[in-house]
Amino acid sequence: MTDFTQLGVKDIRDGVAGGDFTAREVAESFNAAVAAAAELNAFIVTTPDHALAAADAVDAKRAKGESLGKMGGVPIGMKDLFATKGVQTTAASHILEGFKPEYESTVSQNLWDAGAGMLGKLNLDQFAMGSSNETSYFGNVNSPWKKEGTNSAMSPGGSSGGSSSAVAARIAPAATGTDTGGSIRQPAAFTGICGIKPTYGRCSRWGVVAFASSLDQAGPMARSVEDCAIMLEAMAGFDPKDATSLQMDVPNWEAALNADLKGKKVGIPKEYRMDGTDQAILDSWEQGKAMLRDAGAEIVDVSLPHTKYALPAYYIIAPAEASSNLARYDGVRYGLRDLPDGAGLQDMYAATRAAGFGDEVKRRVLIGTYVLSAGFYDAYYTQAQKIRTLVAQDFEKAFAECDVILAPTTPTASFPLGSLDADPLTMYLNDVFAVPASLAGLPAMSVPAMLNPDGLPLGLQLVGKPFDEQGVLDAGLAIQQRAGFEAQPEKWW
Amino acid sequence: MSTYRIQGATGEWEVVIGLEVHAQVTSNAKLFSGASTAFGAEPNTQVSLVDAAMPGMLPVPNRECIRQAVRTGMAIEAQINAWSRFDRKNYFYADLPQGYQISQLYHPIVGEGQLTIEADEKAGIPEDKVIGIERIHVEQDAGKLMHDQHPTMSYVDLNRVGIALMEIVSKPDMRSPAEAGAYVRKLRSILRYVGSCDGNMEEGSMRADVNVSVRKPGEEFGTRTETKNVNSVRFVMQVIEYEANRQVDVLENGGTVDQETRLFDPGTGTTRTMRSKEDAHDYRYFPDPDLLPLELEDSFLEECRASLPELPDAKRARYENELGLTPYNARELTAEVETFGRFETLLAAASAKIGQPEAKVATQVANWALSVAPGVVKSLGDEANMANATAEAQAAILAMQDKGEISGGQAKEIYEIVLKEGGEPEAIADERGLKQVSDTGAIEAKIDEIIAANEDKVAEYRGGKDKLFGFFVGQTMKAMQGKANPAVVNQLLKAKLDG
């Protein structure tokens, strides 16, 4: 059997369309790779039959000379936050263990309609809360990468850690992610792949298990900028079932990709130069500037003065929304129900939620409940919303002076699983560079830049104006072409 | 000024009342989901994925519900907020699948407005009174728990979950049970005119939370209690009566009124504590992040305004000023949508049949509609087939009466036959001899006989005893077997006796 697992989205789509190989061959190849990679724990459930059925449908269409779709023949991993009809959807939680929706999320349906198939449901941080993929009820996800000279299990980042691990390990050519405060970009950076969070509202949230509704955005994770562009086109689009969905046509990002940045200005936000940032990260940022300058862009300094308030504001707003969004998991209608002998309704709620939610989820529900409580609301939630507005205004002002912003994706490279167990605040700091763009609803992408001295990938982040995914992808492509990031994790699983 | 007072041991107490009326918006679909809103369906058959709060489901506002709330706001002369927002009210209960109710706390869609309750001396409302309305907001209804289906468990019916409600919050402007009753009736009337709520209190389409406090006249407001989910005008008045007296007793016995939520027991007419202030929920209101602020465009507002019907106050004024109806008739006819609907249809038909403008025949039609026709229907009981009570038939009867062809009594008789058997009123009048005689010859002959037979009375009449005129009318009508046209009889008698 030919091994197709080195191929990305574009290669597979074009190869299938051109008759170089069949979609079924590709699906079989990836199904086998998935089956052999159980040690990564990237998948919660695998769905090889789904991948094969989708592949066969594409092959049949090709035989009839029909159009195969934007993702025709590409098997992907589906983050287990997206509802998939008849396939267990858990958000990596115990409380939803065994839950099989009667419906398909808009984004996953869009992908199936575009000819993609599903390899399985990818592990993640429980309810997308986490930055290391250690909060899943179904166990940690292992990064395929190892710190040079060590054998410690490394974090693939979070919350889309199953997605990043699978794509980096070449057991899926691409995967869906969701990004609330960095959950696509940070794991992409940790594993040497690309991931883009589009403008808030580009991808429908319908059928995506909600974490923080005003921030949640789906996006693709893949190994190249082109692959991200292709897959985002398939995922995005107005959805009347989501009141926050953007009523805009989906641009043809792939066709318009252009790494020539002549006439473009790239902003460098001085506030992102923070204490505690790795030297290697700062070095990669410098290299990024040089690459974009080489692509024809002018590098300008910009200021995002409220950056330091963004993370605290995020950790008020996101838990506040989460505390309310997760109230529906109550043991009444679906999912786990823990009904101790003689228990009343309140006892059932308490027992069900105590057993069904993990520690990090409980922590955020408690924080969120606290900040919304009478007497604290104004001091926390109202203030945080004001900061959110100021952060968005920072970007507006900065984008008067530049077209796209370049920054590191994360302050550090990946870390060993378990190393931050006792320190949730340091864990939260992982998202310090990612959160501002989330609060402002802006398109933002991480692309691999280089390996650090420990042999771990580092990512660079590009943040664009509202609706300007194209500008972000173009700058990402310019970096990709110059960084020449070809490193792959050595297979140990 | 209301004179309603509670007589306590320490003197008179005044009652202060505010009402929060929850009115179900007339709409085929729920506020944020496409599920049906029909009443009486089997449990859990009208529940969408959104209503059941399945993971990842999202609310999308229903334009019709918003439109009805705006039209209602316009009908109470309220400020319409072109920018409003939905908030989540968070609490856990088994009838609330989301774990929060989507409502509007901070920025309601409708701001301050008012309505007028009419003077009603008998009810102790000496003059028209304007009651302020604080706001109207739209929100989701909850489901229903059923505790009698299983020995140890409760069942949940989600059919009502997500149905759109308008919460209409009055100012604390009412001072007696009668005023509160009049307010609810007037509000119900307006809602039904507008068509934004069917006002059906038994089915729960309208229910009130009743806020009551007492004070010595002229003093500051006292501490209020809120009695939840009261579902009839009579019960609202009972709650106020009971609560006001209870609070006076508490205060006069040296106690304090607790700010608390209470429940009404219709069986005993009393209220009892549901939860105290200490147990009050912290609802953790915050803007619903699944929904964008609701921004209403001018064209939408214009359409809402243009679609408003003539409202009760305007209609009543028109009935009095243009149709010349008495204030009593005008009020009776405009109180209910069905009543004025039937009246206006009959008025148009009668006006056409008689060939006179509506204003000329309105009083006749109003009397018919309010007293004559209902009297006939009532006397027939089950025998009346109301399908026969068409505007055309009634207009034909009124036209014959107008022309003097039939008497009032004959009109009733003909209508009885119409209701029982059907048929054309004109044909019935002809075939059954239900017409009055206007033939002067026949009447004159009888008058002559009567004058001849009663010479003494004629002499007394001519001697100045005018009252005897009635005697001669009566004798003539009797002689004509009641079928003579009274106007002709009068005219002929006058001529013969006075001449």
> How confident is the model over A92-144, as pLDDT tens digits?
999 999 999 999 999 999 999 999 999 999 999 999 999 999 999 999 999 99
Report CB contact under 8 Å: A381, B98.
no
A220 - beta bridge partners? Answer: A176
Give the residue from A82, A90, A97, A330 with the most B CB atoms within 10 Å of its CB, the best one to mutate.
Answer: A330
- ipTM score: 0.96
User: What residues of A act catalytically?
Assistant: 79, 159, 183
Domain end residue (candidates: B284, B303, B322)? B303
Residues B459, B415, single domain; the answer is no
Residues B265, B326, single domain; the answer is no
Q: Are B224 and B212 in contact (CB under 8 A)?
A: yes
pLDDT score at B465: 87
Whole-number mean pLDDT of chain A?
97
Range of the domain at B383: 312-431
Q: Does A381 touch chain B (CB under 8 A)?
A: yes
Distance CA A216, CA A239 (A): 15
Distance CA A479, CA A395 (A): 22
Q: Where are the alpha helices (DSSP H) in A269-380?
A: 279-294, 307-325, 345-356, 359-371, 377
- Work out the number of other CB atoms within 10 angstroms of the CB of residue A307: 20
Q: Are B347 and B394 in contact (CB under 8 A)?
A: no
Tokens at residue A157, please? 């980042």
Task: Give the residue from A268, A260, A204 showing the smallest Cα distance to A232.
Answer: A204
B371, part of any domain: yes
Exposure of B144 by Cβ count < 10 A (0-12 exposed, 13-18 middle, 19+ buried)? middle
Q: Which of B55, B88, B290 sits opposite A244 (nearest CB)?
A: B290
Confidence of residue A275 (pLDDT cuts 50, 70, 90): confident
Domain end residue (candidates: B431, B449, B469)? B431
Q: Does B290 touch chain A (CB under 8 A)?
A: yes
Q: b or e along B213-224 (b: 16 or more beta carbons within 10 Å of the residue's beta carbon)?
A: bbbeeeeeebbb
Residues B375, B271, single domain; the answer is no
Tokens at residue A125, please? 């941080």
- For A128, residues 6+ apart whose C-beta sits below 8 A from its C-beta are A81, A91, A159, A160, A178, A180, A183, A209, A211, A216
Q: B155 to chain A nearest CA, in Å?
A: 10
Which residues from B are below 8 Å from A334, CB to CB? 54
B186, part of any domain: yes
Assign domain A9-261+465-483 to a CATH class. alpha beta
A433 - beta bridge partners? Answer: none
Residues B320, B420, single domain; the answer is yes
Which residues from A are below 8 Å from B55, CB to CB? 83, 89, 91, 96, 99, 101, 209-210, 328
> Reduced to 3 states, what is the DSSP secondary structure of residue A458?
strand
Peptide bond into B33 cis (omega under 30): no
B494, part of any domain: yes
- For B64, residues 6+ apart whose C-beta sits below 8 A from its C-beta are B25, B27, B28, B29
Q: Are B230 and B212 in contact (CB under 8 A)?
A: no
- Tokens 């009634």 identify what position? B394
Residues B337, B230, single domain; the answer is no
Residues B353, B444, single domain; the answer is no
Distance CA B232, CA B366 (A): 29
Report CB contact under 8 Å: B60, A327.
no
B138 - beta bridge partners? Answer: B166
Residue type, B269: G
Residues B148, B256, single domain; the answer is yes
Report CB contact under 8 Å: A208, B291.
no
pLDDT score at B441: 82
Report CB contact under 8 Å: A209, B55.
yes
Report CB contact under 8 Å: A242, B60.
yes
Residues B347, B258, single domain; the answer is no
Report CB contact under 8 Å: A327, B98.
yes
pLDDT score at A1: 62
Interfacial A residues in 350-379 facing B (CB < 8 Å): 369, 372-374, 377
* Structural domains counted in chain B: 3
Sign for the pseudo-dihedral over CA of B426, B429, B432, B437: negative
Looking at chain A, the whole-number percentage of residues with pLDDT higher than 70 is 100
Counting one residue from A and one from B, how many pairs have CB atoms under 8 Å apart?
100
Q: Find the residue in A nearest to B44 (Cα).
A: A333
Domain end residue (candidates: B408, B431, B454)? B431
Residues B196, B333, single domain; the answer is no
Q: Does A382 touch chain B (CB under 8 A)?
A: no
**Phi, psi (rounded to 5 degrees) for B228:** -90, 150
Q: What is the tens place of the pLDDT at every residue in A358-387? A: 999 999 999 999 999 999 999 999 999 999
DSSP B248-267: HHHHHTT-----EEEEEETT
Residues B251, B319, single domain; the answer is no
Residues B319, B273, single domain; the answer is no
Tokens at residue B69, please? 């709330």
- Residue A35 scores a pLDDT above 70: yes
Q: What is the tens place of the pLDDT at every residue in A425-457? A: 888 988 999 999 999 999 999 999 999 999 999
Per-residue pLDDT tens digits of chain B, which is 499 residues long = 678 999 999 999 999 999 999 999 999 999 999 898 888 889 999 999 999 999 999 999 999 999 999 999 999 999 999 999 999 999 999 999 999 999 999 999 999 999 999 998 899 999 999 999 999 999 999 999 999 999 988 999 999 999 999 999 999 999 999 999 999 999 999 999 999 999 999 888 999 999 999 999 999 999 999 999 999 999 999 999 999 999 999 999 999 999 999 999 999 999 999 887 777 789 999 999 999 999 999 999 999 999 999 999 999 999 999 999 999 999 999 988 989 999 999 999 999 999 999 999 999 999 999 999 999 999 999 999 999 999 999 999 999 999 888 988 889 999 999 999 999 999 998 888 888 777 778 888 888 888 888 889 888 888 888 888 889 888 888 888 877 888 888 888 888 888 6
B52, part of any domain: yes
B448, part of any domain: yes
Task: Give the residue from A72, A81, A61 showing the smallest Cα distance to A117.
Answer: A72
DSSP A2-36: ---TT--HHHHHHHHHHTSS-HHHHHHHHHHHHHT
Q: Which of B58, B97, B284 sits opposite A205 (nearest CB)?
A: B58
B1, part of any domain: no
Residues B317, B260, single domain; the answer is no
Q: A101 to chain B nearest CA, in Å?
A: 8
A298 - beta bridge partners? Answer: A265
Which residues from B are below 8 Å from A210, CB to CB? 55-56, 290
In order of A248, A275, A450, B63, the CA distances from B478 in angstroms are 87, 116, 119, 68
Q: Does A327 touch chain B (CB under 8 A)?
A: yes
